[in-house]
Amino acid sequence: MDIKYLAAAILAAAVSSSAYAEEKMNEISAFVYANKQITPSGQDPMVTIYASYGKYIRERIAITGSASITKAGGTNMGSVGFGGKYYFKVGQRGELVPFVNAELQLGHGSGTGYTQNFYNLAGGGGASYFITETASVDGRIVYQIGSASTTVNVFGGQATSSQSTSSIMLTAGLTQRF
């Protein structure tokens, strides 16, 4: 998935759908971000492409599902998640609207000689700047804690270890409501 094509599609949809602002019951968001894991230390920086779909259950509350792909050194990871998002008001063109969000993510990764399964609890907040009635540029900060179980191939056998993880992410992306 190439993020520039996803971003172009979201912007094109924003321009074409601003007349339908009163009908927005769904949203699609796309973010690209880099983060440095806090614990355990010494890990490679991660670059992630993240996309989510939200279904509004109330005017400012959405239930979300997400998928992400992460590259960190020689490791490739993928995850799926579910959570929620709350906007402090309904956004209009030219407005900056704060929000909070939380999510549970489950994932799997692998690198040379090892595999990893993990889960993360992520929570944070940010703001959406509405460039049209239905499209926004979003920034957010997220604190994430979790656990990873890693299996390493060692001398013809396998060894498994578990570790707690935490990280802080500053993200920027686009959201289209429809």
For position 92, what pLDDT does the model report?
96
Per-residue pLDDT of the chain in tens (178 residues, 90 and over written 9) = 555 665 566 556 555 544 444 578 999 999 988 776 666 777 777 889 999 999 999 999 999 999 999 998 888 999 999 999 999 999 999 999 999 999 999 999 999 889 999 999 999 999 999 999 999 999 999 999 999 999 998 888 899 999 998 988 889 999 999 9
- Domain with 149 in it: 3-177
pLDDT, residue 155, reads: 85
Specify the pairing of strand 135-154 against strand 157-177.
antiparallel
C-alpha 83/C-alpha 105 separation (Å) is: 9
Nearest Cα residue to 120 out of 102, 104, 137? 104
| Total-model pTM | 0.80
- Number of structural domains (the chain) is 1
Owner of token pair 């959201």: 175
The pair phi, psi for residue 9, each rounded to 5°, is -65, -40
In the DSSP assignment, the letter for residue 42 is T
Report the CATH number at residue 19: 2.40.160.20
Output b/e per residue, 1-15; b: 16+ Cβ within 10 A. eebeebeeebbebbe
pLDDT attached to residue 72:
84
